[in-house]
Amino acid sequence: MTARIPVGILGATGTVGQRFIQLLEDHPWFEVAWLAASDRSAGKPYAEAAKWRLNTPLPKRIASMMVFAASSPEGAPKVIFAALDSAAAKEIEPKFAAAGHAVISNSSGLRMMEDVPLVIPEVNGDHLPLLKTQKWFKESGGFAVTNPNCSAIGLVLALSPLHRRFEVQKVFVSTMQAVSGAGYPGVPALDILGNVVPYIASEEQKMEEESRKLLGSLNGKAIVPADITLSAHCNRVAVEDGHMESVSIKLNKPATADEIINAWSEFRCLPQKLKLPSAPEHPVIYDPAPDRPQPRLDINRGRGMAATVGRLRPCNLFDWRFTVLSHNTIRGAAGAAILNGELLKAQGYLN
């Protein structure tokens, strides 16, 4: 029995930070050893700094841990999970990477930087070596690895097995996203009770460009984005957790419904082969019922790490239509980063 790797959490008090704490409690490889948040929280015990909003109890050990200021890497462990807002991430994460830390980030700040891997382990775990091109890696051994936006991740999990077999060419996607995706306090109740908001700032652009990078390939020292055209409509709905997406796709190679369902069902990748602790047995689950997936019923499949696909049917305009659902704060945020951390560990990047 080996000791667990101590890890720190940047942005530990927010919605995603709390998920990190919840998911890392009892993690076989990682142990939360350091918590950091804004200056307002620094110096307080975690239970006081954070308004714990999850429906499992705040672990006692964490409750009494002191929160540090996120602004300085001093005293932080080598491995850092980050859940900062985008602006803070752009400023703070490079500091940590420059100081030799492995920054495994859920933030959007660095995702589209040329030398920063944007990774879903099942989809493009082979992009990780890109991190070796980072100046930080060369200078201090530190680096930054990111996971995509919560709305891109479910989509790309569903597209990846199809792209491998049939080459996805065009994607139309319309989302119905949960309020937890906006953090806390996030969306005011008056804006969303009995309502739909057809706008989430920057979300459509993120889905479109991140999906192309994720489905692209590592060509020597750079990512060549996939040659896919996407058009996204992003909407917020009165759901707590779970992003739903209506998708139409055009493929380069013909595929029958059975072939598509097989591609999803047989999808197993690096995380499954390496038996990473957070990897779901089936990253993509096809549900044949006529009215699934649904957030309330399906978000916890694979402990929140599986995407559920349903309603596969022909599209009048493209080839196929379907619906995909994934848990936006587990598979779409904290769980995504932890799985990236596990892959990094398994491949020796955290030594």
Tell me if 1 contacts a copy of itself by CB under 8 A. Answer: no
Site for a copy of itself in 261-300 (CB under 8 A): 290-300
- Site for a copy of itself contains 64 (CB under 8 A): no
State the catalytic residue, choosing from 150, 163, 269, 327: 150
Contacts 24+ apart (CB under 8 A), 287-295: 293/244, 293/323, 293/324, 293/325, 294/325, 295/178, 295/239, 295/240, 295/241, 295/242, 295/244, 295/325
User: Among all chains, which residue has been given the structure tokens 């953090």?
Assistant: 183
C-beta of 93 vs 241, nearer to a copy of itself = 241
38 binds a copy of itself per the rule CB under 8 A: no
Task: From 32-40, 80-88, 110-118, 191-199, give the range in contact with a copy of itself by CB under 8 A.
Answer: 191-199
Give the helix ranges, DSSP H, for 227-334: 257-265, 270-273, 295-298
Judged by beta carbon, residue 165 or residue 321, the one nearer a copy of itself is 321
Instruction: Note whether 192 binds a copy of itself by CB under 8 A.
Output: yes
Q: Which of 56, 219, 256, 351 is in the footprint of a copy of itself by CB under 8 A?
A: 56
Q: d(Cα 255, Cα 258) in Å, to the nearest integer?
A: 8
104 touching a copy of itself, by CB under 8 A = no
From the candidates 27, 101, 163, 243, give the one annotated as an active-site residue: 243
Whether a cis peptide bond, with omega within 30° of 0, leads into 185 is: yes
What is the total count of residues that contact a copy of itself (CB under 8 A)?
61
Binding status of residue 25 toward a copy of itself by CB under 8 A = no
Q: Is 243 a catalytic residue?
A: yes
Q: Are 205 and 199 in contact (CB under 8 A)?
A: no
DSSP β-bridge partners for residue 30 = 5
Those residues with Cβ within 8 angstroms of residue 60's Cβ, 6 or more apart along the chain or in another chain = none
Q: Angle of helix 203-214 relative to helix 150-166, nearest 10 degrees?
A: 40
**315 in active site:** no
Under a CB-based contact definition with an 8 Å cutoff, are residues 267 and 122 in contact? Answer: yes
- Kindly write out the interface string for residues 316-335 of this chain, putting x where it contacts a copy of itself by CB under 8 A and - elsewhere: xxx--x-x------------
For residue 75, count CB atoms less than 10 angstroms from its CB and return exposed for 0-12, middle for 13-18, buried for 19 or more.
exposed
Site string for a copy of itself, 210-229 (x = CB under 8 A): -------------------x
- Positions touching a copy of itself (CB under 8 A) are 15, 53-57, 170, 172, 174, 176, 179-180, 184-199, 208, 229-231, 233, 235, 237-240, 244, 246, 248, 290-301, 310-311, 315-318, 321, 323
Q: Which residues are designated catalytic?
A: 150, 243
